[in-house]
Amino acid sequence: MERSTWSKVDDEAVVIARALAMDSVQKVGNGHPGTAMALAPVAYTLFQRFLKHDPTDSSWLGRDRFVLSCGHSSLTLYVQLFLCGYGLSLDDLKSFRTHHSLTPGHPEYGHTNGVETTTGPLGAGISNAVGMAMAARYEKGLLDPDSETQLFDHNIWVICSDGDLEEGVSGEASSLAGTQALGNLKMIYDDNRISIEGDTHLAFTEDVAGRYRAYGWNVLEVKPLPDGNIDRVALEEAMIIAESTTDRPTFIRMHSTIAWPAPHAQGTAESHGSALGADEIAATKVLLGLDPAVSFFVPDHVLAHTRQIINRGQALRATWENDFERWQAKNPERAALLERLRSKDLPAGWEKVLPEFPAGKDVATRAASGKVISAIATILPEFWGGSADLAGSNNTTISGSKSFLPLSSAMEGADPYGRLIHFGIREHAMGGILNGIALHGLTKPFGGTFLVFSDYMRGSVRLAALMNIPVTFVWTHDSIGLGEDGPTHQPVEHLASLRLIPNLAIVRPADANETSIAWREVITRSKPTGFALSRQNLPVLDRAKFASAEGTAKGAYVISEAKGAAQVLLIATGSEVSLAIAAQELLEQEGIHARVISAPCLEWFEETDMAYQESVIPSSVKARVSIEAGVTTGWREYVGDAGISIGLNHFGASASAGTLFQEFGFTNEAVVFAAKESIAKAAK
């Protein structure tokens, strides 16, 4: 975007932005004014002079992305959205941090127009931005691999704080960004040396710029002006260099003074998260040349000036649309692909590529998942992903795929548009990067690690669920069935813990065919999902004898019906379904009719209507046993007062899978005993 000469009105707009940050926090009585005040010239310069965007079309495919990683300073973003004309009004700023407002305490994706991702947990925005930058490159490979156009070239801009860079997830993601040579990623670090507890040197004294140089980033330094204000001219010069740097990501270390120019609050920890107070705001407004008695003052001529970005944005988009039409005419197949990706459609009959697994051979569900992943990839080019250095164990390698690595990489099989992502041993960043890829909008990412390490990435998983974005987490080695690696690697509490996250579906399939159907559902539903897959081989159930695996789509189904009126319900997931079926046979030999229910995804089951739920778990049958190799928390809802839950309410041990299942009571006999006990309880 062509940059005009900086004017006096631009100076006025920055002053107004600082004042709006103070007034918004003061009105509600809480918030984070200091950073938003200091960052006003940074955000204004970015939105008015660098970002390629159109406020009248926030979903424009050709736009740059902006991520405010320090989400607590949400007013930094909201004020610019207001000034640019994204639909926020002055009244929205006045209702900052109040119920039902469009200006919540932290930016929320899908809630406020112009917000590209939900930020607040520090460091998360940086990992999201890395994902967006990776997605931009991968999508470029789908649509313009020979770089015949710049239609699909855009930048990802980030503003981050000291706190963001203290969080480990930012280091994980930034390290990978350097390896990936993401030249479309530009990050401005607001180095103000202030956090809630005071000077950041209490805990953060490293050479941050040196660290980013070591990561392989282009590092630029912007010193402050003598009065402590940001040197906006020097910053703009650095941003111009960043914009022209395309062979690696750019890190701009910008020194600032929090709450500048407040006479007493500037440079203090108190200004980070508290309203400045009426007297301090009045004194600051005097310094800014404003009337201290007037709040939320926005002169018409200033707003008219800042809203000119709409005209510039629409002109940029019109030029882009003209170029896009020419590209469409020249590339009809790729244009058709893009149209499908934008509309979120799937190719007709795509599911026919999904493998069916014959009975008679035991297959680990992780292995089955790997075959399904490769099959899906043959028909959905938007489907890509990898693992946190566990691809061989997670079975997340797409057959025949090259590695997603830059042209500068010396690694064998490197391809800037490859489909296999090597996240390295960086689970938390992997989750945040997957979120960023999904947020970018066109592709369907997945990432794998062991289920026990979902703990490392829980923050990112939670944000995926909060934003309701189509990310798939492939977690393998789902129980004590992984055996000799012992309790450090054996997930016990993880299934229950992950099921507590709202809007996240957890799928633990019983066999290879349930795995295949579950993947079909995941691709179709486009919601956040986590797989829990077995390391050990599981029987592929004979579907001529047992119910079709299609029942997986409903989350739970009767996989083996009782031979008479059911006296007890055996509800199992994953590897324990076969155990329940074996126990059913033993019970039948004693004249006890048991129904076996496979429940691969309780969240999907809860989405079905009450009539279906009643048909699977009839309220008239009070005797129930749940069987799952994990803690029993959560199963009381399904087994009721007379029910019994067979689980593992303690940590595992290092031994073979068979030994552990026997030792910890996952046996046919234990299920039979529990069934009889539940029947007896129900009869009382």
* Residues carrying an active site annotation: 427
Closest by alpha carbon to 276, among 290, 293, 259, 289? 259
For residues 343-379, b (16+ Cβ closer than 10 Å) or e, as one string? eeebeeebbebbeebeeeeebbbbbbbbbbbbbbbee
Residues 258, 200 contacting (CB under 8 angstroms): no
Contact between residue 496 and residue 630 where contact means Cβ atoms under 8 Å apart: yes
Assign 3-state DSSP to the chain and report helix, strand, coil percentages, each to 5: 45, 15, 40
Q: How far is CA 312 from CA 4, 60, 81, 133, 308, in A?
A: 11, 14, 15, 24, 7
Q: How many of the other CB atoms lie within 10 Å of CB of 29? A: 9
Q: How far apart are CA 367 and CA 360, in angstroms?
A: 16
Residue 443, token pair as written in the block: 């592709």
DSSP run (H or E) holding 530: strand 529-533
Cβ neighbours for 57, distance < 8 A, ≥ 6 positions apart = 313, 317
Instruction: Pinpoint the alpha helices (H) of 526-627.
Output: 576-589, 602-607, 610-616
Query: Do the Cβ atoms of 76 and 230 come closer than 8 Å?
Result: no
- The answer to whether 502 and 527 are in contact (CB under 8 A) is no
Are the beta carbons of 189 and 253 closer than 8 angstroms?
yes
Q: Distance from CA of residue 593 to its chain's centroid? A: 45
